[in-house]
Amino acid sequence: MSKYLVVGAGLFGSVFAHEAAMRGNQVTVLEKRNHIAGNIYTKEVEGIQVHMYGAHIFHTKMKNIWDYVRQFADFNHYVNSPIANYHGEIYNLPFNMNTFNKLWGVITPDEAKAKIDEQKKAVLLTDNPTNLEEQAISLIGTDVYEKLVKGYTEKQWGQSATELPAFIIRRLPVRFTYDNNYFNDPYQGIPIGGYTQIVEKLLDNPLISVKTNVDYLKHRNLAADSNTKIIYTGMIDQFFDYKLGALAYRSLRFETEVKDTDNYQGNAVVNYTDSEHPFTRVIEHKHFEFGKGNKGRTVITHEYPQAWHQGDDPYYPINNLQNKTLYKQYTELAKLKAPNVIFGGRLGQGSVKNLV
């Protein structure tokens, strides 16, 4: 029997803890928030499962993962079909024939392709786009870029599209079919009753002990026993006290409110793609579960992107060369200085496979 200390009760840490305990190992899970489930945490408000850290839609192309997760919850048949609001004009996402028809009145895929080609040729672009703006225009033309990409992306990353690297959008979800399903994955849905129950069930094992409100970095002595292996799902730069410098992240602020109406916006996710609205998305949670909840009530969340400062939640690692290089240096440091620690999850990028 081995002993594990798992830092972070998000999906990665909880799946690891579950699998380790199922193999007879003893696991302590530490979580600095006052609840388990990490960013997939959902909470019932007005009979509606509210996604407290932004919209989360489960999707995978792997049948074994789909079968695995459904041991812990039944899933509904929700299909992610966000819409975009650009100054009150509504467009379907991802960019598809419905979007192109609304923009240009085109009917056939050939007409849509011709329109995009015409727009690409009208602006002087090199064959090698040097920034996100050029890359986006070379993929979908100027109209889609101006109305649906530019404002949203600049709000999301807090930078002008001409300063952002092209590789962020090597591919854009573009379809020449009338198909509003955002994901290509064959399996997707929302757990009936929310995500938190999945994590509760994962951690429900006599060999697992869970402590919330504990920041491991302030209690490193909890793994003083050298036989204890650590699974760390927090920020790798913070683990090393920012010794090589701070990695760059982007943060978010969520404003959640109850509205006295049955149906506020008619869709779970509406992206605001202009630059005037300071938020990127409005989520109406009841639509993830097809209108469940108390009569005459709905819960909505505005999602505001914001600069990240030490102490804020690090929602998105910044995807640029400097950050990637620094992250790699931290992984090298981890191999040398922390051989007993497995860095995993969204911020550590490890995989549970074959670790236990």
Ligand X SMILES: Cc1cc2nc3c(=O)[nH]c(=O)nc-3n(C[C@H](O)[C@H](O)[C@H](O)COP(=O)(O)OP(=O)(O)OC[C@H]3O[C@@H](n4cnc5c(N)ncnc54)[C@H](O)[C@@H]3O)c2cc1C
Where does this chain bind ligand X (CB under 6 A)? 7-13, 30-33, 38-40, 54-57, 215-217, 233-234, 252, 315, 345-346
Query: Minimum distance between the CB of residue 90 and ligand X, rounded to whole angstroms?
Result: 21
SS3 of residue 60 by DSSP:
strand
Instruction: Choose among 109, 149, 110: nearest CA to 131.
Output: 149
Instruction: Choose among 12, 3, 2, 4: nearest CA to 234.
Output: 12
Instruction: Choose among 337, 132, 343: nearest CA to 244.
Output: 337
Q: Which lies closer to ligand X via its Cβ, residue 129 or residue 348?
A: 348
Q: Which lies closer to ligand X via its Cβ, residue 151 or residue 189?
A: 189
Query: Minimum distance between the CB of residue 211 and ligand X, rounded to whole angstroms?
Result: 9
Residues 237, 247 contacting (CB under 8 angstroms): yes
Query: Which is it for the CA torsion 88, 59, 137, 155, positive or negative?
Result: positive
Q: Which helix (H) or strand (E) holds 59?
A: strand 58-60
Q: Which lies closer to ligand X via its Cβ, residue 166 or residue 355?
A: 355
The alpha carbons of the chain give a radius of gyration, in whole angstroms, of: 22
Q: Which lies closer to ligand X via its Cβ, residue 145 or residue 315?
A: 315
Query: Minimum distance between the CB of residue 294 and ligand X, rounded to whole angstroms?
Result: 25
Q: What's the token pair of residue 119? A: 């727009």
Query: Minimum distance between the CB of residue 347 and ligand X, rounded to whole angstroms?
Result: 7
SS3 of residue 323 by DSSP:
helix
Residues 265, 226 contacting (CB under 8 angstroms): no
Q: Which lies closer to ligand X via its Cβ, residue 154 or residue 303?
A: 303
Query: Minimum distance between the CB of residue 16 and ligand X, rounded to whole angstroms?
Result: 9
Query: Minimum distance between the CB of residue 230 and ligand X, rounded to whole angstroms?
Result: 11
Query: Minimum distance between the CB of residue 225 and ligand X, rounded to whole angstroms?
Result: 18
Query: Minimum distance between the CB of residue 114 and ligand X, rounded to whole angstroms?
Result: 34
Q: Which lies closer to ligand X via its Cβ, residue 109 or residue 193?
A: 193
Q: What's the token pair of residue 157? A: 């990353």
Rounded Cα–Cα distance for residues 129 and 135 (Å): 5
Rounded Cα–Cα distance for residues 193 and 170 (Å): 36
Rounded Cα–Cα distance for residues 266 and 271 (Å): 13
End-to-end Cα separation, the chain, in angstroms: 11
Q: Which lies closer to ligand X via its Cβ, residue 137 or residue 352?
A: 352
Q: Which lies closer to ligand X via its Cβ, residue 38 or residue 129?
A: 38
**Residue that is written with structure tokens 């050298």 in the block:** 226
